[in-house]
Chain A
Amino acid sequence: MSQKIEFENILRRIEEISENSKKIYGAPLIIDPKTGVATWYDQREIKIRFLISIEKIKRFFEALSRGKILATKCVNTGEIMFPPQINCPRDPKNQIEWVEIPNEGELVTWTIIKVKPYSFSHHDDYIVGIAKISNLNINILAWVKCKDPNKLRPGLRVRLNIVKREPENYLIYQLEPLEEC
C-alpha cells in the first residue's frame, strides 16, 4: 500500500469519527481512545498551489525541452551558477551568459527517501543524490536511477539525463550511473 493510500485511509477514519461526533455532541470532536484527549477536527480546508515566476530563467526550460541543461555564468567573475540565476551580486556590471552543463559527473552523496512528504506519497521510494560536475565546479541534486543502491559509492561516474517525470508528466533531469546499478 502506498503511503498516499495509508494517509487517505487515516483521513477517512478521522472524518468518520468527526461526523459521528457531530451527531452525538453537535461538534466535530475527535476523542483519542488512549488518552481521552479531545481535539476539534478543522472544518476549513485550503489547497495551496503556488504560481512561481520563471520568466527570467525561461531559457532553462526551453533548453531542457531540447535536451540541454543550462547554468548561468557571471561574465566578469567567471562564476558558474546552478541553479541558474540572472544576477551576479559581486559583479558591478551584473552581466550573465548562459552555458551548457556537460552531461557527466561524479556522485558525491545520496539518500533513499523512505518516508515521503504527502505530495510525493504516491511515488515508490526514491534515491536523491548530489553529483559534482568537475569542470564547472558545481553540484547538481537530482533523483538517481538505480535499482540496487548497494552499488552506489562516492566518485561513481553518472550521466545527467533528461526524463519525463511520471505521473506528473513534465521534463526533469536525473542522474544515471554509467555502471550497471
Chain B
Amino acid sequence: MRRKVAIVGTGHSIYGVRNDVNLPELAYESIKEAVDEAKIGLDDIDLVVVGNVGGWSSEYLPAIVINEYADLAGKSTFRIEAACATGSAAIKTAVDAIASGEADIALVVGVEKMNESLTPVVVEFIGRSGNYFWEFQNFGLTFPGYYALYATYYMFNYGVKEEDLCLIAVKNHHYASMNPKAHFQRKITVDECMKSRYIAWPLKLYDSCPISDGSASIILASEEIATKITDTPIWIEAIGSASDTSNITRRKDFTGLYAARKAASEAYKKARLDPGEITRHLDLAEVHDCFTIAEIMAYEDLGFAKRGEGVKLIREGQTYIGGLIPVNLSGGLKAKGHPIAATGVGMAVEIARQLWNKIERGRQAPIKNGRGLAHNVGGTGHYAYVTIYSLTKPRG
C-alpha cells in the first residue's frame, strides 16, 4: 500500500539572469530556505533528487556538485530530466520513493543556469528538444517555432488574434510585478506586447518566456513525519503523467496537447475530482505558459474551458483573482521566468505558499477549497505532469 506524502518545506531563489552565482550557489539558495522552513537537519534527508536539464551550463554532474556544496555528499541521489517538466518529474520520483517506503524524507531541487551560454547557443539547445534528426537537423525548428505551429493552427481554427495572446502576457506580467522572486518586475500593456518583434511568427518577444536562471526546492516527507513537522502539510493528492510523440508531425491535432489532457484526466481520477466541474474544486492553478498560446491551450486541456473557448477566459478576465479560477498568480513562466528544471518545483513552492496564505498582497488567491493544481509540460507536449496539492489529507 502506498504511503501518503506531503510538502513540509519550500524554497525559491530569485529567477532571472543570475550571473552573480554559480550552479551550486544558486541551488543552495532554495535548498537552505526549504530545509530551514521544514526545521530538519541535513542528516534527516534520505534522498536528494536533482532536476537539471543542462547542456547550456558547465557542470556535467549537477547532482554531485550540488550535494557536495550543500554538505549532502553520501546521500542517495541522481539527476532527473524530462525537459521543461523536469521539476515535476523530480517531484514524482521523490513522492514514489517515499510512498513505497524507500525513503522517509526527500529533498527535491530543480535548478537551471541557462545564462552560462549565450542566447543563440541556448536557442540551439532548446530547438533540439523535439526530434533532432528529422526536425532540427534539416529544418532548424526553434522552441518558440514549435509552439508557433500550434498557435497558427489554433488562431486559424478558432478566430483568435495576436491581441488575445497578448492578454495572457499582460496578466502574467501584472502578477509578476508583485512577486519579488520574478524575472520580470514590470507590468506591460497589450500595445507594448503587440509592438514587440516576432521571434517565430505569430509569436512575438512578449509572447515568450525569458531565458532564466533559478532554483526551487521542496522537502517531502511521509505522513508520519510530515504531521510531526507541521500542522499544515501540503499533501500530494494526485500526480497524473503522460507523454507524446517525439516528432510533432505524428500528433493527431494541433489545438491542444494530448499529453496534458491525459495527465489531467489521470490526476482528476486519482484525486476523485469531477473533471466537468474542476474549477469548483480548486483555488488556483499554475500552468505551463512558456508561450502565451500555451496558457490558452492549458485552460482547455485542463477542462477549465471547452475546446476553442479558452480564449474567452482571458478576454473576460476569468483567470485573474476573483474570476472563475486564478491562473499563474506567480507571474507564470512568461514573467516569473522559466529556469527549465526549476519550473515544476517552483510551481509546487508557489502553490504551497498560496495554500498557506503566505503570498504578497495583491496576488494571494482566496483559499476556500484548500487545493491548487500545477500543470507542467516538457518539450512541446512531449511530457506532461498534472499535480494536485491539497491542505486536506487524501482519502484512502
Contact = CB atoms under 8 A, between A and B. Distances in A.
A161 interface: no
Contacts of B139: 126, 128, 141-143
Contact of B145 (A10, A111, A142): A111
B198 A114 contact: yes
A108 B123 contact: no
A83 B140 contact: no
A85 to B, nearest CB: 10
**Size range of the chain A interface in the assembly:** 35 or more
Contact of B149 (A119, A126, A130): A130
A117 B127 contact: yes
Contact of B200 (A113, A121, A141, A172): A113
A139 B138 CA distance: 16
Interface string B131-161: 1011110111110110011111100110000
B121 interface: yes
B197 interface: yes
A67 interface: no
B246 to A, nearest CB: 9
A114 B200 contact: yes
A116 B251 CA distance: 24
Contacts of A35: 19-20
Contacts of A138: 249
Contact of A111 (B120, B200, B251): B200
Nearest to B150: A109
Given A118-B121, A123-B140, A172-B138, A112 B200 contact: yes
B254 interface: yes
B248 interface: yes
A118 B145 contact: no
Given A113-B200, A119-B140, A11 B156 contact: no
Contacts of B250: 139
B149 A113 contact: no
Interface in A21-39: 32, 35, 37, 39
Given A11-B118, A82-B249, A116 B142 contact: yes
Contacts of B124: 117-119
Interface in A86-132: 108-121, 123, 126, 128, 130
A124 to B, nearest CB: 12
Contacts of B20: 35, 37
Contact of A113 (B145, B153, B248, B251): B145
Nearest to B205: A115
Contacts of A126: 139-140
A112 B197 CA distance: 12
B140 A115 contact: no
Contacts of A128: 139-141, 145, 149
Interface in A1-28: 3, 7, 10-11
A121 B19 CA distance: 25
B208 to A, nearest CB: 9
B140 A130 contact: no
B346 to A, nearest CB: 23
B247 interface: yes
Given A110-B152, A153-B156, A115 B144 contact: yes
A37 B19 contact: yes
Contact of A115 (B134, B135, B153, B200): B200
B249 A115 contact: no
B242 interface: no
Given A10-B118, A114-B201, A128-B149, 13 more contacts: A52-B133, A109-B254, A110-B152, A113-B142, A116-B140, A118-B120, A119-B140, A120-B140, A128-B139, A128-B140, A139-B250, A142-B138, A165-B138
5 contacts: A111-B202, A113-B142, A120-B140, A128-B140, A141-B139
